[in-house]
């Protein structure tokens, strides 16, 4: 595209960012990227200090490329705003690591180069994970790892209820297990249905597991998924608190030992080891059996558009270093991610057999912005979580709630 049209697109996409962040958001450190020896990397990992393994890896990759890496970690939302502003002002970092749903926003703004532009090799990446970084047939980065959702279970409660977790393979067998647990005076399942992206994220495995598509929110399959959740509340298998639960508060409920199942993610693995009871994990079942497609979390490593195109060669070296097999294994262990490469996934599962379920879940997962939804996804997601809230609270039937959601998603 021409420089003028690109600036106009960036200005349009960055309006919200400009309102949220002051003009000083892109500090003078961004200008240091003009120094041939210093390359800027922005990431969404502010929790990692300068003495962390992650920063050590960045520095190592810089050394191997013959440059100095200057890294800044931002909160995810803050990073998106800053990336849009930096692109608009022409002082983007050399390497940008962002949450996978953000890729489509930055790509539409013309802020990112494609992997074809910079000859980044993505041939070894799992196709379902790579899809989260694709738009209109182009790929805008390399996945660094993925997390997703599965069902944690309390071994003691299931044993007491006579439930074999290996026999939970579809919605019918899962609901039967919840019924047995309730008959023993315990609680069935907890999850997050809050009216935010977290709620949509947790509903999507059931939505997709029914065979529904995000382009048709009111399909019979979609209605069956929302009916499953509403029936669980009516039957006492899930608590009313799920309407306000975040993924964190849902986990806290499970940690009490009163619930047989909890829908949650790989990021809880460290906390799971601290539970006061034995636990296990199974994939979220699809309606008719097999693992349901769960949404992928995780980041992409991308190369933003630069005025000085001569910098791309070194940026490509940095990205290639960060995403080679050995470094992926180290990074994904640090981030509690499943690797985006099958061979590395096998190494992870061999080193820690508890990851086998998570590898299976990631292989069945799909990107929220996939199916070429791109920047349409946020408005679809908002309509979806609104429908879930409405149905679970009893305000509307699942059919009515999803019909309203489809109308809202089509008109926003």
> In the block, which residue shows the tokens 């790989």?
266
In degrees and rounded to multiples of 5, residue 282 shows phi and psi of: -135, 155
Residue 58 CA, chain-centre distance (Å), reads 22
User: Per the structure block, which two tokens stand in for 223?
Assistant: 């209605």
- Residues 249 and 206 placed together within one structural domain of the fold: yes
In degrees and rounded to multiples of 5, residue 26 shows phi and psi of: -90, 100
How high does pLDDT run on average in the chain? 91
- Residues 158 and 249 placed together within one structural domain of the fold: yes
- Residues 62 and 135 placed together within one structural domain of the fold: yes
Q: What is the pLDDT of residue 333?
A: 87
> In the block, which residue shows the tokens 């191997």?
64
What is the Cα–Cα distance from 224 to 76, expressed in whole angstroms? 33
- Residues 156 and 258 placed together within one structural domain of the fold: yes
The answer to whether residue 342 is domain-embedded is no
- Residues 155 and 304 placed together within one structural domain of the fold: no
Summarize the confidence of residues 79-92 as an average pLDDT: 95
What is the Cα–Cα distance from 243 to 317, expressed in whole angstroms? 46
The answer to whether residue 403 is domain-embedded is yes
The answer to whether residue 362 is domain-embedded is no
Q: How many CA atoms lie within 13 A of 390 on its CB side?
A: 16
One-character DSSP codes across 107-123: HHTT-B--TTTTT---T
- Residues 7 and 50 placed together within one structural domain of the fold: yes
Strand pairing class (95-99; 134-135): unpaired
Q: What is the pLDDT of residue 24?
A: 30
Which domain covers residue 214, as residue numbers?
A: 149-296+372-411
pLDDT of 23 above 60: no
Give the CATH number for residue 392: 3.40.190.10
Q: How far is CA 76 from CA 44, 46, 81, 364, in A?
A: 5, 9, 9, 25
Element containing residue 314 per DSSP (H, E):
helix 312-322
Q: Give the model's confidence band at 30: pLDDT under 50 very low, under 70 low, under 90 confident, else very high.
A: very low
CB-CB contact of 151 with 169 (8 Å) = no
- Residues 238 and 93 placed together within one structural domain of the fold: no
Q: Tell me, yes or no, if the pTM score tops 0.75.
A: yes
- Residues 156 and 121 placed together within one structural domain of the fold: no
- Residues 286 and 154 placed together within one structural domain of the fold: yes
CB-CB contact of 329 with 353 (8 Å) = no
Q: What is the pLDDT of residue 412?
A: 62
The answer to whether residue 308 is domain-embedded is yes
Condensed to tens digits (0 to 9), the pLDDT of residues 133-181 reads 998 889 999 999 999 999 999 999 999 999 999 999 999 999 999 999 9
User: Per the structure block, which two tokens stand in for 280?
Assistant: 């296990």
CB-CB contact of 205 with 297 (8 Å) = no
CB-CB contact of 364 with 294 (8 Å) = yes
Condensed to tens digits (0 to 9), the pLDDT of residues 316-328 reads 999 999 999 999 9
> In the block, which residue shows the tokens 């699942």?
398
What is the Cα–Cα distance from 410 to 412, expressed in whole angstroms? 6
Condensed to tens digits (0 to 9), the pLDDT of residues 242-260 reads 999 999 999 999 999 999 9
pLDDT > 90 fraction of the chain, expressed in percent and rounded: 86
Q: What is the pLDDT of residue 372?
A: 84
CB-CB contact of 38 with 70 (8 Å) = yes
Condensed to tens digits (0 to 9), the pLDDT of residues 89-115 reads 999 999 999 999 999 999 999 999 999
Condensed to tens digits (0 to 9), the pLDDT of residues 31-42 reads 333 445 899 999
**Domain end (from 283, 308, 336):** 336
Condensed to tens digits (0 to 9), the pLDDT of residues 284-309 reads 999 999 999 999 999 999 999 999 99
Summarize the confidence of residues 332-359 as an average pLDDT: 94
pLDDT > 70 fraction of the chain, expressed in percent and rounded: 91
Q: Number of folded domains in the chain?
A: 2
Summarize the confidence of residues 6-12 as an average pLDDT: 44
């Amino acid at each position: 595209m021409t420089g003028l049209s690109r600036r106009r697109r960036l200005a349009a996409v960055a309006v919200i960012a400009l309102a949220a962040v002051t003009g000083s958001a892109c500090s003078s450190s961004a200008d240091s990227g003009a120094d041939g020896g210093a390359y800027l990397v922005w990431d969404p990992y502010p929790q990692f200090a300068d003495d962390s393994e992650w920063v050590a890896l960045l520095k190592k990759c810089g050394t191997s490329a013959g440059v100095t890496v200057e890294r800044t970690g931002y909160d995810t939302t803050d990073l998106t705003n800053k990336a849009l502003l930096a692109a608009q002002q022409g002082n983007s970092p050399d390497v940008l690591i962002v949450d996978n749903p953000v890729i489509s926003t930055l790509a539409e703004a013309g802020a990112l180069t494609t992997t074809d532009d910079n000859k980044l090799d993505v041939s070894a990446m799992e196709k379902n994970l790579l899809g989260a970084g694709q738009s209109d047939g182009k790929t805008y980065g390399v996945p660094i790892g993925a997390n997703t959702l599965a069902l944690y279970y309390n071994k003691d409660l299931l044993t007491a209820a006579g439930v074999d977790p290996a026999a939970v393979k579809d919605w019918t067998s899962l609901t039967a297990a919840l019924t047995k647990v309730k008959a023993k005076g315990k609680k069935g399942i907890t999850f997050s249905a809050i009216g935010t992206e977290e709620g949509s994220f947790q509903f999507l495995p059931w939505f997709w597991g029914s065979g529904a598509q995000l382009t048709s929110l009111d399909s019979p399959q979609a209605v069956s998924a929302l009916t499953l959740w509403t029936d669980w509340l009516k039957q006492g298998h899930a608590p009313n608190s799920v309407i306000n639960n975040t993924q964190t508060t849902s986990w806290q409920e499970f940690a009490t030992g009163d619930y047989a199942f909890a829908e949650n993610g790989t990021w809880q693995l460290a906390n799971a080891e601290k539970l006061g009871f034995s636990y296990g994990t199974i994939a979220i079942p699809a309606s008719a059996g097999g693992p349901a497609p769960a949404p992928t979390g995780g980041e992409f490593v991308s190369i933003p558009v630069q005025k000085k195109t001569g910098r791309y060669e070194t940026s490509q070296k940095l990205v290639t270093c960060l995403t080679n097999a050995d470094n992926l294994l180290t990074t994904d262990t640090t981030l509690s991610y499943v690797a985006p490469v099958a061979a590395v996934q096998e190494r992870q599962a061999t080193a820690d057999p508890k990851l086998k379920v998570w590898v299976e879940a990631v292989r069945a997962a799909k990107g929220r912005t996939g199916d070429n939804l791109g920047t349409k996804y946020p408005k679809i997601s908002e309509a979806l979580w609104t429908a879930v809230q409405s149905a679970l609270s009893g305000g509307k039937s699942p059919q009515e709630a999803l019909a309203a959601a489809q109308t809202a998603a089509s008109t926003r």
